[in-house]
Chain A
Amino acid sequence: MQERLQTLKEEALSQIEKASSMKEVQDIRVAYLGKKGPITEISKGMGKLSAEERPKMGQLVNEIRTAISDQLEAKVNGLEKAAVEERLKKETIDISLPGRPIKRGNHHPLTRVIEEIEDLFLGMGFSIAEGPEVETDYYNFEALNLPKDHPARDMQDSFYITEETLLRTHTSPMQARTMEKLNGEGPVKIIVPGKVYRRDTDDATHSHQFMQIEGLMVGENVRMSDLKGVLQSFAKKMFGDEREIRLRPSFFPFTEPSVEMDISCFICSGNGCSVCKGTGWIEILGGGMVHPNVLRMSGFDPEKVTGFAFGMGPERIAMLKYGIDDIRHFYTNDSRFIKQFNTL
């Protein structure tokens, strides 16, 4: 009987081994472990055995049952897994095919630069003031210490609408407009981005319309060294941590002293190249300490407060930063140009 059981077991295991479908596995289960199967038969015939042999044989029968059913289980798992693998194989796709594009536009490069600068100054506690593009002669010139007939008005040949109104030549009029509202009570910390206009013929480096960002800080104890500090953090954030700045004396009617700010050339790191015209320095912006006449006219007492102001051109900054060669690109809006500004 023992031998018969061993033979059955080997037969069963070998059949399971060979089975290749669920159906076969099921048939084997019925054939060997079913109610009419040989093992059940043997179990039934165990009554004939002696009391001594019966438990021994019973254990053997159970062992063989377990062995067969474990093997059946394993086979089922194996077959199921193979079936899944087969299906997944059929579902394979060509992952090299192009993905579905996500439709997305982007900022104009000038907006990109302006928002970057805005965020930088917001972080330093400045707020953003905006003003009219058509201005009075008073705010555009006179309140900025440029009385009528001032020779420096030639520096900014302008588009007049009437004798007293014109397209603003800079965003500086917001200096006076903002200060006037405060009745001499500081501090003032603003930047003023916006469109400005000058009588220039459009070419690769000139545009009759362009952007400007003016900055103004007025309060007790505002020093030129603060202007230098603020501009230094601006330059480093905008053009890289390795940038050095230098201030050069200059002239603007609305600041005294006046300066121009250069940054160390980021193309050649100061060794001299065509961008910096061999000097190692690139002119970025103008500024200075607010002229006492400007403070006085806007209701601030120059004996009590001081201030600094600066003005920069986003076009110039964008042109330098991205290596753009023609200012007209900003206003032509070729989509191949604008679409380039969609990445970090």
Chain B
Amino acid sequence: MLVSMNWLQQYVDLDSYSADELADLITKGGIEVETVEQLNKGISGVVIGHVLSCEQHPDADKLNICRVDIGEEEPVQIICGAANIAAGQYVAVAKVGAVLPGNFKIKKAKLRGEASHGMICSLQELGIESKLVHKEYADGIFVFSDDVTPGEDALHYLNLNDEILELGLTPNRADAMNMIGVAYEVGAVLNRSIELPSPELVRSEENAQDYVSVQIENEDDNPYYGATVIKNVTIASSPQWLINRLVSAGIRPINNVVDITNYVLLEYGQPLHAFDYDRFGSKEVVIRRAAEGEKIVTLDDTERTLSSDHLVITNGSKPVAVAGVMGGADSEVQQNTTTILLEAAYFDSKLVRKASKDLGLRSDSSARFEKGIDRNRVIGASERAAQLIQEIAGGTVLKGTAEQGDRTVEGKEVSIEVTRINQVLGTEISETEVAAIFERLQFSYQNFGGTFTVQVPPRRPDITISEDLIEEVGRLYGYDNVPATLPITESTPGQLSDYQKKRRRVRRALEGAGLYQTVTYSLTSPSKRVFFSNETTDAIRLAMPMSEERSELRTSLLPHLLEVAQYNKNRQLENLAFYETASVFLPEGELPKEQEHLAGVVSGLWQEHLWQKEKKPVDFFVVKGILEELAVEFGVEDRLTFARADEPKLHPGRTAAVHLDDELIGYIGQLHPEVEKELDLSETYVFEINLEALLKADVDHLKYKKLPRFPSVTRDVALVVNESLEAGQVKRVIEEAGGAKLVEINLFDVYQGEHLEEGKKSLAFSLRYYNPEQTLTEEEVKKAHDRVLTAVEEQFGAALRS
């Protein structure tokens, strides 16, 4: 809502308040003033000029040499290129030395040999937006229609010294979508009285009811409809004051009758519609639901197809307007219109909203109906418009109104106790102060021992319960005056849940390992929704995606993490280490199952120290080590296992499935070289696991283990085995065979090549034996170690490497 200071001044005395001060007070009162705009964008030196003569330039077809009276002793000569310039016109002249918007200075000039002392201006040149300029002057200079005096300040006549407050209205404050509503609010905020228009009409002897009847099929859809008939109207341009008002509110002037309906819309918040009575097509107005597929051509010359969800105004046979949204082209007011059928009605807000949404038509009218208008202002607005049409367009207003429905409704009663106000706000506002606030708001009330029963005027439909009154009192009392206190309710310990604590540990562990956290989008494209072959084929898809790229909820984190890798790689950032923890969405019942995953991607160098010439590229064991470290962190190092696996998007020889106990919880591996190529990535390793499974695993509490009291014995053994044999398998066999006294097995060398048979490799383990009860004897160690050697020989044919 755009509010002109000059216009507002008509209803409330704003004296002594600057626009900025007022904006601040209104904002603190509860309606945010988003901007304060000066219409004078640095303009000076523009006066009214009278074009005394106008002749074509001898050397230029499109230029005119004008002699213009600008209120100085002598007329000045100005060269003007506008097509609509003519002698006798009163125009806006930027004198030599004048400044136009954008700090454009007017200087003496010579145009094709002729001197020009100033410039005759278009409205656009004075800073008015093109869309607000009347068609007549859209492509040329502006011409004053009133009696004006040469030499006077043109800005005053064009209202360019005005300031505009832009209100950012929340949906509950539709009451401030009109000047009267704003006047009530500003009156309350400033604690000043307001003066509202009281239209006085002279009506003719003829009866409107003889010209038209009104019939509403369902008063739930349309509680009130009134039609006023005005004869002998002359359609013309509006007077400058009216144009100025509309322009200040951002509405383009059209003709006097349409401008008046728009003016009253802005002033009262009541949408009105003027039909051309002679082209209405009948003498009856019937308001009903549209038939399925019924058609109407609206004012914008577009054919619209309607349904039974839409309310229409008809002439008894066909629609002439979509109620509250837009009129029809057939009955539009035109240049030759003489009789007006003026509609002032109250339509159901949901029906207007529905039609406006279905037809994609949002108008100043529908916006107001949708949010609810003041039922009790319909008649006043209608009379205000009739009065202005009479004054400006010379109309004769017929007696009476053809109407159906109740003209007014009773205000609602809401009660509130002063003690309750103070209890909710934490304040100590007195009864007298509360009473004064209701008076500022012009709410009538009764006070019985601190309980206020308020008669809420229908202009404030947002106030329905006592809490709404608490807000009214609070906002005018001023939230600055509400103290800052600490809650006095029972104290509660604030702490993270076990899961939340563990999640924080995951982040710290991964970051400690060198990975950077990322956050990526949950919505993705069908092709990036999944990564692994075991993921569901059922997509959770948006009903109406904004784009295919963001149409489905992901079931894997890796595709977006790889996008991050790709993005960085494309910017010459080669050494990458990222992770993300986020939910994936798996179809299940009404709501999907949301499962928190952890995914990581690493590429390039893992360790690098330049001057010491150390460069360690990322490999499979880097990612594996990260997961193993996490397993230790969460006490499941003995339960987390890795098994060779095949995944189409991963390297066939460098991929493992990750199991927690018997449950598959994810994968680690190198990206398949084809995928790497596709994404233009170098060797890249990834992992993704079901984090919830890891964090929710039942584990024993941390318990202290006694420090060793006796020395342990270490034996190294190098075994020659087939190269295809996995070290992990060998380790498992050693572990089983070694028995309780074998407490630690460390693989310390893997060798293949010289001195070894083709197809063989050597695995060197360091085995540590320990007995917690007493010092180990040579005998005990030998027994256990022999069992190990026998087992590996039997199972794998492993020979000791000499």
Residues of A within 8 A of B (CB): 97-98, 100-101, 103-108, 110-111, 115, 118, 121-128, 130, 132-136, 149, 151-152, 154-155, 159-165, 167, 186-187, 189, 195, 197, 199, 201, 208-209, 217, 219-226, 228-230, 232, 245-251, 256-260, 289, 291-292, 306, 330-336, 338-339
Contacts and interface: CB of A to CB of B under 8 A. Distances in A.
3 A-B pairs with the lowest CB-CB distances in the bound complex, closest first: A225-B426, A249-B30, A223-B426
B517 A105 contact: yes
A335 B577 CA distance: 9
B511 A106 contact: yes
Contacts of B523: 159, 167, 197, 208-209
Nearest to A208: B550
Contacts of B170: 250-251
B454 to A, nearest CB: 15
A251 B172 contact: yes
B350 A149 contact: yes
B497 interface: yes
A128 B495 CA distance: 8
A105 B509 CA distance: 10
A195 B474 contact: no
Contacts of B467: 256-257, 289, 291-292
28 contacts: A101-B609, A108-B516, A124-B494, A152-B172, A159-B523, A160-B543, A186-B489, A187-B489, A187-B490, A195-B522, A201-B546, A219-B490, A221-B423, A223-B424, A224-B425, A224-B474, A225-B483, A228-B483, A229-B486, A232-B484, A256-B471, A257-B467, A289-B467, A332-B567, A333-B564, A333-B578, A334-B571, A338-B516
Interface string B736-767: 00000000000000000000000000000000
B491 interface: yes
A72 B350 CA distance: 112
Contacts of A165: 590-591
A186 B585 CA distance: 32
A100 B27 CA distance: 56
Interface of A is mostly: mixed
Given A125-B491, A224-B426, A111 B513 contact: no
B520 A225 contact: no
Contacts of B486: 226, 229-230
B517 A103 contact: no
Nearest to B473: A257
Interface in B310-335: none
B423 A132 contact: no
Contact of B465 (A107, A136, A224, A292): A292
B492 A105 contact: no
B471 A104 contact: no
Given A149-B353, A221-B488, A223-B485, A126 B494 contact: yes
Given A228-B485, A256-B471, A257-B470, A250 B30 contact: yes
Given A108-B518, A249-B29, A257-B470, A335 B491 contact: no
Contacts of A330: 519
B591 A132 contact: yes
Contacts of A135: 591
Contacts of B591: 132, 134-136, 165
B494 A331 contact: no
A202 to B, nearest CB: 9
Contacts of B522: 133, 167, 195, 197, 209
Given A108-B517, A219-B487, A259 B479 contact: yes
A281 to B, nearest CB: 9
Interface residues on B, range: 35 or more
A251 B173 contact: yes
Which of B349, B490, B541 has the most chain A CB atoms closer than 10 A to its own CB? B490
A136 B426 contact: no
A148 B173 CA distance: 19
Contacts of A251: 170-173
Given A107-B517, A165-B591, A249-B479, A220 B425 contact: no
A223 B425 contact: yes
A149 B504 CA distance: 41
A194 to B, nearest CB: 9
Interface in B512-559: 512-523, 540-546, 550, 553
Nearest to B30: A249
A26 to B, nearest CB: 43
Given A127-B495, A259-B479, A339-B516, A208 B470 contact: no
B59 interface: no
Contacts of B488: 221, 226
A152 B512 CA distance: 46
B86 interface: no
B491 to A, nearest CB: 6
B43 interface: no
A251 to B, nearest CB: 3
A111 B495 contact: no
Interface string B159-181: 00000000000111100000000
A122 to B, nearest CB: 4
Given A133-B522, A249-B475, A100 B609 contact: yes
A223 B490 contact: no
Nearest to B614: A100
Contact of B482 (A149, A152, A161, A225): A225
Contact of B504 (A115, A125, A232): A115
Nearest to B489: A219
Contact of B497 (A128, A186, A338): A128
B607 interface: yes
B462 to A, nearest CB: 8
A121 B494 contact: yes
Interface in B590-631: 590-592, 594, 606-612
A136 B590 contact: yes
A230 B108 CA distance: 65
A166 B260 CA distance: 45
A118 B590 CA distance: 31
Nearest to B578: A333
A179 to B, nearest CB: 15
Given A104-B512, A160-B544, A334-B571, A187 B517 contact: no
A46 to B, nearest CB: 61
B370 interface: yes
B611 A222 contact: no
Given A125-B494, A187-B492, A223-B423, A246 B512 contact: no
Contacts of A124: 494
Contacts of A257: 425, 467, 470-471, 474-475
B573 interface: yes
Contacts of A338: 516-518
Given A128-B500, A225-B482, A335-B516, A248 B542 contact: no
A98 B612 CA distance: 10
B494 A161 contact: no
A229 B483 CA distance: 8
A151 B496 contact: no
B468 interface: yes
A199 B485 CA distance: 38
B470 to A, nearest CB: 6
Contacts of A259: 479
Nearest to B349: A151
A132 B594 contact: yes
A152 B349 CA distance: 13
Interface string B94-123: 000000000000000000000000000000
B494 A189 contact: yes
B371 A151 contact: yes
A132 B586 CA distance: 12
B283 interface: no
Given A97-B611, A136-B591, A208-B523, A220 B423 contact: no
Which of A127, A250, A333 has the most chain B CB atoms closer than 10 A to its own CB? A333
A222 B482 contact: no
B573 A336 contact: yes
Nearest to B174: A151
Contacts of B606: 103
